[in-house]
Structure 1
Amino acid sequence: MDLKNLVAEYRLRVETHLEKVMQAEQPAPHLQQAMHYSLFNGGKRVRPVLVYMANQLLQGELKNADIPACAIEAIHSYSLVHDDLPAMDDDDLRRGKPTCHIAFDEATAILAGDGLQALAFDLLSSPDSSLEPRIQLQMMQSLAKASGNFGMVAGQSIDLCNVGKQVSLQQLELMHQHKTGALICSSIEMGALSSGKATEQDLHSLQQYAAAIGLAFQVKDDILDIEGDTATIGKPQGSDLAQDKPTYPALLGMAGAKQKLDLLNQQAHATIDGYGDAAAPLHWLADYIVERNY
């Protein structure tokens, strides 16, 4: 199995479906342009890929993973649009391109984020879905919790409240378990649910895997903020340092942060060893998160 090509196929699949969704005529063309710009600005599509991988691990039908894959990417894209706003991180670049509020304007960026958030739940609740209503409801609850005040939004708030402050390692992990990890956990959960075959043990094991790679994703981001460069990582190098944000290298030192990253990688692999060769794509993705340079 060529796992790199498999991931590329999943990325193309979700982008094809997102393109179809965004081609539908909308009453506000300027808003539609901003939403499209934010969805198609070079994302790695890690979360949709996780949806597809979890679905296939449990031998589900891939078509049943399309809607949750699109929904998670819509939520993720909305979060980045709002994260970049002047009132939040005030970033001018995202993935090497002007952020939404720079390419359009601040008000349009806020509305584009709102539109993308609503789009996610519109997709999941579609009466034309091939998913059972019970599964649709479980997915909506998973994504709502992961993206709201019990998940990503809570993490954003903790982050903003601690700029310029000393935090403990436990506080930092709590922030990132919500800010980054919650959506990654929801990706895995929705993918497993879309198979229609997920047991409680499957959900538990996959949530442990997701928690490990979710935290690893953030540790790697913190390392790249220092060791990467603007052209490679697609945003201003050192932006977290400039804003005096709490990071793993700041708390643990660079060597300690890299050791933490390696430990999380080992934990991720251990949680899915019981699935044997069927989990090869998830093993590959765990290593990709650790080894990526952007």
Structure 2
Amino acid sequence: MTKPTFTDFSQAIITQLERDITAYITDKHLPEPLHSACLYAMTNGGKRVRPLLVASSFATVSQVINQQNFYKNIGKIDSVRLSMLAVELLHGYSLVHDDLPCMDDDDLRRGRPTTHIKFGEATALLAGDVLQNLAFETFCEQIFAESWRIGNNLLTTFTPRARRMIMGQMLDLNGEQKNLTQAELEAIHRDKTGALIEASVLMGGICGQANEQQLNALEIFSKNIGLAFQVQDDILDVTADTEQLGKPAHSDEKLDKSTYVKLLGVEQAKDYAQSLFDTAKNAVIAEFGNENYLIDLANWLWARQK
């Protein structure tokens, strides 16, 4: 069987993930309006980049992408399915809190009112708290679902990178209204944006029982993709409009944040993003060849407009 297209693969993964998100939150019997706020925050048409990285990394390492219907059945593998759920729940929590008036103070997320605009600040704050907690609850299930070793490895990969994401958010706030160097800017975003992307790629590899050499290649890929993703965001913030982005354009300028565009200019920032994508893809190609979903995903990310 020919390798299914990335479009087919990603659509199947996202369909499974969105069913799991709704079922998982509903199963917790949260009181209203907390239940509705959590569902609202998590079912708002996001790109699902991080779960797709988990699935693509697993498919690349396990080398079973050509088996009939594998891309449809990947959601039946508990460790993969729960890892996808965990990274997206943690990402969802971070967005709910990022949008709050005490943080970035945004009214629009993915073309809809942000959670605190829809439900109020107190409910949004609690929704973020619950989503973070649920992300870690999934590992209680993973540790016993397939094997203690895989579950433990997933937890020890995920936990420090969740902490790093929050550290990066603090550094980002500290950097407002300051002229940061490129090294300082990268230190922020290797944590704030990059840490969860690293976790996603590495957890997919762990689920596929990657060896040390393979994990090293995945780590190089993830570190470079994570930084490239942030450089792209900085570019899109000034080159796309609010309708394209689904959130307010020029929001970084409003908060007087240091960005790669502010530091390098648009064209040089694009060149830098391209070099990061190339480094990421070369690491994967050297280890796994160029016919895999991580390369497809990198190409898709490079072409994104929001």
The TM-score range, normalised by the shorter chain, is over 0.9
What does 1:6-25 align with in structure 2 at a 5 Å threshold?
6-24=9-27
Asked if residue 152 in structure 1 is aligned to residue 165 in structure 2, the reply is yes
Match of 1:240 in 2: 252
For 1:8, give the aligned amino acid. Answer: Q
Match of 1:42 in 2: 45
Deviations 1:156-208 (A, max 9, x none): 0110001010100000011000000000000011111112x211111111011
Structure 1 contact 269–283 (Cα < 8 Å) conserved: yes
Following superposition, the deviation at residue 212 of structure 1 comes to: 0.9
Q: 1:153 to 1:28 in 2, by over 3 A?
A: same
What does 1:273-288 align with in structure 2 at a 5 Å threshold?
273-277=285-289, 279-288=291-300
Pick from 173, 185, 191: which aligns with 2:204? 191
Pick from 202, 219, 227: which aligns with 1:215? 227
Q: Gaps spanning 5+ residues in structure 1: where?
A: none
Asked if residue 166 in structure 1 is aligned to residue 183 in structure 2, the reply is no
Match of 1:86 in 2: 101
Structure 1 contact 95–235 (Cα < 8 Å) conserved: yes
What does 1:258-277 align with in structure 2 at a 5 Å threshold?
258-277=270-289
Determine helix, strand or coil for the equivalent of 2:256.
Answer: coil
CA distance in 1, matches of 2:202, 2:288: 19
Asked if residue 203 in structure 1 is aligned to residue 215 in structure 2, the reply is yes
Q: 1:278 to 1:57 in 2, by over 3 A?
A: farther
For 1:104, give the aligned amino acid. Answer: F
Deviations 1:41-84 (A, max 9, x none): 11100100111111111227831300010010000000000011
Determine helix, strand or coil for the equivalent of 1:67.
Answer: helix
Determine helix, strand or coil for the equivalent of 1:43.
Answer: coil
Structure 1 contact 216–289 (Cα < 8 Å) conserved: no
Deviations 1:16-65 (A, max 9, x none): 21122122151413111111111101110010011111111122783130
Match of 2:110 in 1: 95
Determine helix, strand or coil for the equivalent of 2:15.
Answer: helix
Q: 1:169 to 1:27 in 2, by over 3 A?
A: closer
Following superposition, the deviation at residue 279 of structure 1 comes to: 4.7
Asked if residue 126 in structure 1 is aligned to residue 129 in structure 2, the reply is no
CA distance in 2, matches of 1:279, 1:31: 43
Following superposition, the deviation at residue 127 of structure 1 comes to: 6.8
For 1:48, give the aligned amino acid. Answer: P
Following superposition, the deviation at residue 234 of structure 1 comes to: 0.6
Aligned residues between the structures: 291
CA distance in 2, matches of 1:265, 1:57: 17
Structure 1 contact 228–237 (Cα < 8 Å) conserved: yes
Match of 2:90 in 1: 75
Asked if residue 54 in structure 1 is aligned to residue 66 in structure 2, the reply is no
CA distance in 1, matches of 2:304, 2:291: 20
- Higher mean alpha-carbon deviation, 35-44 vs 280-289, is at 280-289
Structure 1 contact 125–140 (Cα < 8 Å) conserved: no
Determine helix, strand or coil for the equivalent of 1:28.
Answer: coil
Runs of 4+ off more than 2 Å? 127-131, 274-280
Structure 2 contact 82–142 (Cα < 8 Å) conserved: no
Match of 1:33 in 2: 36
CA distance in 2, matches of 1:42, 1:281: 21
Following superposition, the deviation at residue 134 of structure 1 comes to: 2.0
> Could you tell me the TM-score, scaled by structure 1's length?
0.95
When the two chains are superposed, the root-mean-square deviation of aligned CA atoms in Å is 1.5
